[in-house]
Amino acid sequence: MVSEKIIIAIDIGTTSTKILAYDRKGNAWAEEEQEYPLYSPHPGWKEQDPEEIFSALKATLKKVLKAVKAKNGVPAGIGFSAAMHSLIAMDKNGHALTGSLTWADQRSVQETEELKNGDGHDIYLRTGTPIHPMSPLTKLLWFRNHRPDIFEKASKWISIKEYVFYRLFGQYVVDYSIASATGMFNLENLAWDQKALELTGIKESQLSEPVATTHQVTGLDEKLAEDLGLPEDTPFVIGASDGVLANLGVGAIDPGSIACSIGTSGAIRTVVSKPAVDPKGRIFCYALTDNLWVIGGPINNGGITFRWARDKLFPDVKKQALASGTDPYDDLAKMAAKVQPGSDGLLFFPYLTGERAPYWNADTKGVFFGLTLDHGRAHMIRSVLEGVMFQMYTVIIALIEAGVEPVEYRANGGFARSELWRQIMADIFETEIMVPESHQSSCMGAAWLTMHKLGMVSDLSSIKEIVKTKVKHEPVKENADAYNKLKPVFIRLARDLQYDFGIISDIQRQFGEEQAHK
């Protein structure tokens, strides 16, 4: 029996590491996932243990490799995807001095506001990373201001993917994609931005060497190779960030092809041929390859708002679903489907964890607006689902105003499993929404990039021949008419509330400090 070459794709996510094995036709041979905790030692802090993530990766990879070999597959290469904006301080001996601060960490709110009032916009125009607490740039400013002991002791400042590569190969390298999400990487010359480094007070030698997303590494640590059951000369392709690879994974790599993704958070993204930024600072620009760049906007509050509603507003529904063996999300969606589009005039602003695009304001807060005695819980859950889509719609407006001309919309992520949520998107966006069959799009993108590097596929665009459309949703005119009455109200209120969000955030922080001292 002839062995088949298989590519292993590793996606280091915020809540878990997912690893899939693919053949060159895009068929999944094996899939494993392992979760790990997110720690919050102080309000607003969101970090992880780098070693827990590396251990999860090793355990998951061993299972996938075992499954592949059992089917007579041969691992031909391994490619990577990873979440953006993480930051870890490393000492001179290669040990972590801190946890891995995630994109959701908001400890640098004050530094962010000060930077916005200073050189922040100029830095954004050069680096493509909006000024926000998610950015490693602002996190570094926080360490300099609040933990000078760690700041002075740190030999390297790296991301979680760089940590993994260091553990695997003993070298510090960072792909252009992860680097372009740090707020310190110049998009034009593909090098660390000297003015950004001067601002933070760190040296270029304290950062990893930037390399192309197709950069190949071999020479796996001997003990790790033996433990994993991999030859030491197995090629590892460094890959890119999860967001840009998700675009590739669903086949949205042509001009005007829009990828709409909602998992825990959400994003609207499209591919362009050269770096592009927004004079108003509303969108990001991150690298996919040397000549493909992804622009778009992320939102903090995607599926996490649905989970909040399930846990906080509908604990009884969750309990009943668990007892009966049904999915509580499906039960809530059925409840929401009984309410007409627009939730009888009830709007939900889904800013439970601050917000990124298009406002980039960590102080935004969740709001139910228009609540009356006639509204019940079913209205509230539908308005939560609609609120997320209204927010996604504000991002596409920013992209259009920045010059993007949408041709098609491809939906992926956890929300794509919900027929109701997909239809809400089609109705609010007033366009056809396609749902590709592509499973785990970031992993698929990482695999395809690796196959291209290793010569297993002709070019990246050939992925469109592999990714098939699973289902399509057309907008319903009556639904779209109802949403068109609410869109301007949502957009105007979201904009006008930005100032008051800051005031209420200050009050909440005061309450939190008082409670902490009791």
Tell me phi and psi for residue 494, to 5 degrees: -60, -40
Q: 413 or 393: which carries more pLDDT confidence? A: 393
How many whole angstroms separate alpha carbon 131 and alpha carbon 517?
31
Q: What are phi and psi of 184, to 5 degrees?
A: -130, 15
Is residue 66 within 8 A of residue 228, CB to CB? The reply is no
Pick from 487, 496, 295, 491: nearest CA to 402: 295
pLDDT for 440: 86
In this prediction, residue 269 has a pLDDT band, given cuts at 50, 70 and 90, of: very high
Q: What secondary structure, in 3-state letters, does 428-466 show?
A: HHCCCEEEECCCCHHHHHHHHHHHHHCCCCCCHHHHHHH
Query: What percentage of residues in the chain have a pLDDT greater than 90?
Result: 91
What tens digit of pLDDT does each residue of 498-513 get?
A: 999 999 999 998 888 7
Distance CA 269, CA 243 (A): 8
Compute the distance between CA of residue 395 and CA of residue 467 in angstroms, rounded to an integer: 25
DSSP 60-93: HHHHHHHHHHHTTEEEEEEEEEE-SS-BEEE-TT
Task: Assign 468 a pLDDT band (cuts: 50, 70, 90).
Answer: confident
User: Are the C-beta atoms of residues 129 and 181 closer than 8 Å to each other?
Assistant: yes
For the chain, what is the mean pLDDT?
95
Give 120-125's long-range contacts (Cβ < 8 A, gap of 24+): 121/281, 122/195, 123/183, 123/193, 123/195, 123/196, 123/199, 124/183, 124/277, 124/281, 125/277
| Residue 1 burial (10 A CB sphere; 0-12, 13-18, 19+) | exposed
> Which bin fits 447, alpha (ψ -120 to 50), beta or left (φ > 0)?
alpha
Collapsing DSSP states into helix, strand and coil, what is residue 325?
A: coil
Compute the distance between CA of residue 387 and CA of residue 394 in angstroms, rounded to an integer. 11
Q: pLDDT band at residue 184, thresholds of 50, 70 and 90?
A: very high
The pLDDT, as a whole number, for residue 95 is: 98
Please provide the size of the chain in residues: 518
Beta strands in 341-478 (DSSP E): 347-349, 367-369, 408-412, 433-436, 469-473
Phi, psi of 308 (to 5 degrees): -60, -45
Residue reference for tokens 């993007």: 404
Is there a contact between 398 and 278 (Cβ–Cβ < 8 Å)? yes
User: Residue 439: is its pLDDT beyond 70?
Assistant: no
Residue 15 above 90 pLDDT?
no
The torsion defined by the Cα of 494, 498, 500 and 506, in degrees rounded to 10, comes to 130
What is the value of pTM for the model shown? 0.91
pLDDT classification of 1: cutoffs 50, 70, 90: low
Instruction: Please write the tens of the pLDDT for every residue from 95-117.
Output: 999 999 999 999 999 999 999 99
Looking at residues 185-197, what average pLDDT do you find?
97
Tell me if 421 sits within 8 A of 429, measured CB to CB. no
DSSP secondary structure, 20-61, as one string: EEE-TT--EEEEEEEE---B-SSTT--EE-HHHHHHHHHHHH
For residue 109 the two structure tokens come to 């709110």
Strands 216-217 and 236-241, by their bridges, are antiparallel
Q: Is the pLDDT of residue 39 over 80?
A: yes
pLDDT at 44 over 60: yes
How do residues 199-239 score in pLDDT, each as one tens digit?
Answer: 999 999 999 999 999 999 999 989 999 999 899 999 999 99
Instruction: Report the alpha-carbon distance of residue 420 to residue 410 in Å, rounded.
Output: 16
Instruction: Examine the pLDDT at 264 and tell me if it is beyond 90.
Output: no
114-172 pLDDT per residue, tens? 999 999 999 999 999 999 999 999 999 999 999 999 999 999 999 999 999 999 999 99
CA dist 372 and 359 (Å) reads 28
Q: Which 8-state DSSP code applies to residue 3?
A: -
Amino acid identity of residue 515, one-letter, is: Q
- The answer to whether the bond into 210 is cis (omega within 30° of 0) is no
Give the helix ranges, DSSP H, for 312-376: 315-324, 328-337
> What is the predicted pLDDT for the residue at 263?
83
Distance in angstroms (rounded) separating the CA atoms of residues 151 and 144: 6
Strand partners, 47: 39, 101
pLDDT tens-digit series, residues 419-437:
999 999 999 999 999 998 8
**Structural contact between residues 177 and 244, judged by C-beta atoms closer than 8 angstroms:** yes
Q: Are 271 and 406 in contact (CB under 8 A)?
A: no
pLDDT in tens, 369-391: 999 999 999 999 999 999 999 99
Q: How many CB atoms lie within 10 A of CB 389?
A: 23
Q: Is the pLDDT of residue 2 over 90?
A: no
The long-range contacts involving 499-507, CB below 8 angstroms and separated by at least 24 positions, are: 501/351, 501/361, 501/363, 501/364, 501/365, 502/361, 502/363, 504/363, 504/365, 505/363, 505/365
